[in-house]
A and B are shown apart, each in its own frame.
Chain A
Amino acid sequence: MWTIIHKMGSPPWFFRFSGALVRWLLPLTIALLCVGAFWGLLIAPPDFRQGNSYRIIYIHVPAAVVALAGYYVMAFAGAVSLIWRIKMADVTMRAAAPVGAALTAIALFTGAIWGKPTWGAWWVWDARITSMLLLFFLYLGVVALFEAYENKTAAARACAVLSLIGTVNIPIIYKSVDWWYSLHQPASIKFMGESAIDSSMLYPLLLMIAAFYCLFVVAVLLNMRAEVLWRHRESGWIQQLVERA
């Protein structure tokens, strides 16, 4: 166990391992995305009330789910880097933040597009939308704080502290926004209907969620590889890599 963790912390080993992983994961991600999108957008039946406009859930829901999970990945990497001072954990945290922010932005954007035909407005202050917006701000805070520090080791530690406090705060934010919304609730908006989602719509959705998880991992790994290359551009093993290529 410990040897694996130590290996993970070594940049040359990580670079080789992640290269192999990406070579497998990238085709898998593309395949999952194509099959899921084809199934969800063309084969799955239209919703009896929303018609075809509901199909945006095949982008919206996976993006939102992975965006939330991404914050925890980032905070966990931050905790590892604070406690054990493992360099690669810094890199992971740094790499996960912009990907998570992008996914949150996709979820908000697709939500707005979906809201127009369903609710008649681009934006309503619904509990889930508001929580997502706050998550977006939390991500942006981490990215901006990292960029503001010139010393990147210090930047990683500051971001780790921030993302850990954010992790403690996220459940409180979600619960409080929920209460806020139920207290101030305007005309009730029910769009998911009373019935649970049918399996003919659920399977492509699950496939798309899996695809987005893979996409997140691939994006973070590619981000990390770029960062490792940049940090170690002077070192011997990178020179060897370049010569061999």
Chain B
Amino acid sequence: MSHDVPSVSLIAAFAGQFARHAKALINSPADVANPLLFFFMVVTLFPLGLGPDPERLSSMAPGILWVVALLASLMVSGKLFASDFEDGSLEQLMLSPYPLAILALAEVAAHWFATGALLALIAPVFGVMLGLPSEGLLVLTLSLLLGSVCLTLIGALGSALTVSIRRGGLLLSLLIIPLNVPVLIFGTTAVYEAVVGGNWVSWLALLGGLALGSLALLPIAIGAALRVSVDT
């Protein structure tokens, strides 16, 4: 038996890790449903707090939906690496011959499908409830799809940094929220521009650029942060 040569290819390891995490998510539907319910609940609060005036609600809808999506992603990202940290699978990952960044990315990808992507697909329903004009609905989904890639990766970094800290929840929001600001600005602006018939494509392109940049850089930082968390 040789320990130096990995027995499966990197892609197979990535797929295996992805499948393992996806299975865990399928086995606990509450983890998938909770952020969506949270989204629904908080969106309901806005008409109650701001009054039912349809015009005001529809003008605020892009901002409301994006802010609530950001909060939902914040809420779930704290748990991203928690169970892996507790049951020791993170230590196993570290002993494996594959780059930690790639394996962590597999987990983040599975997490994104279950939270970010799902939320982006459902968001138009809430958009209609808030009276968002129909021109904005498609762009809302597209911007959330691209934006949630960044939100999930940044959330994963926050989770990796705080997973070994006992009460990391509040700390996590302090770490993540400032980093999420550009995503929020580009996303809401894209939807606003689509509603007023402006140039939304360039804002989506900016979001796409951010998503690609985060995909390239953040897994490395997540890997480094996980190593710190496990070493303590």
State whether A177 touches B181 (Cβ < 8 A).
yes
| 9-residue interface stretch from B27-35, B93-101, B125-133, B167-175 | B167-175
Q: How many of chain B's residues touch chain A, expressed as a range?
A: 20 to 34
Asked if B179 is at the interface of the complex by the 8 Å CB criterion, the answer is yes
| B181–A134 CB distance below 8 A | yes
The A contact surface, by secondary structure, is helix
What residues on A are CB-neighbors of B185 within 8 Å? Answer: 176-177, 179-180
**B66 beta carbon closer than 8 Å to chain A:** no
Is B178 touching A134 in the complex (CB atoms < 8 A)? yes
B174 engages A141 (CB within 8 Å): yes
**Which B residues are CB-close (under 8 A) to A175?**
182
A22 in contact (CB, < 8 A): no
B interface, over-half SS: helix
In whole angstroms, how far apart are the Cα atoms of A157 and B217 in the complex? 17
Q: Which residues 144-167 of A have a CB within 8 angstroms of B?
A: 144-145, 148-151, 154, 157-158, 161-162, 164-166
Is there an interface contact between B232 and A149, defined as CB atoms closer than 8 Å? yes
B225 contact from A134, A151, A161, A183, Cβ within 8 A: A161
Q: Are A173 and B181 in contact (CB under 8 A)?
A: yes
Please state if B217 and A168 are interface contacts (CB–CB under 8 Å).
Answer: yes
Contact in complex: A141, B175 (CB < 8 Å): yes
Q: Is the CB of A172 closer than 8 A to any CB of chain B?
A: yes
Determine how close the nearest CB of chain A comes to the CB of B105; give it in whole angstroms. 16
In the bound assembly, the distance between CA atoms of A141 and B221 in angstroms comes to: 16
Interface presence of A191 (CB below 8 A): no
CB pair A164 B221 closer than 8 Å: yes
Q: Which residues of A contact B174 (CB under 8 A)?
A: 137, 140-141, 144
Contact with B along A192-230 (1 / 0, CB 8 A): 000000000000000000000000000000000000000
Which residues of A have CB within 8 Å of B121? none
For the complex, is B231 an interface residue (Cβ under 8 Å from A)?
Answer: yes
A-B residue pairs, 10 tightest by C-beta? A176-B182, A154-B232, A137-B178, A176-B185, A141-B175, A180-B185, A157-B228, A151-B232, A148-B165, A134-B178
Would you give 27 A-B contacts (Cβ < 8 Å), ordered by A?
A: A140-B174, A141-B175, A145-B175, A148-B168, A149-B164, A154-B164, A154-B228, A154-B229, A157-B224, A158-B225, A161-B157, A161-B161, A161-B228, A162-B161, A162-B175, A165-B217, A165-B221, A166-B179, A168-B217, A169-B178, A169-B179, A169-B182, A173-B179, A176-B182, A177-B181, A179-B189, A180-B189
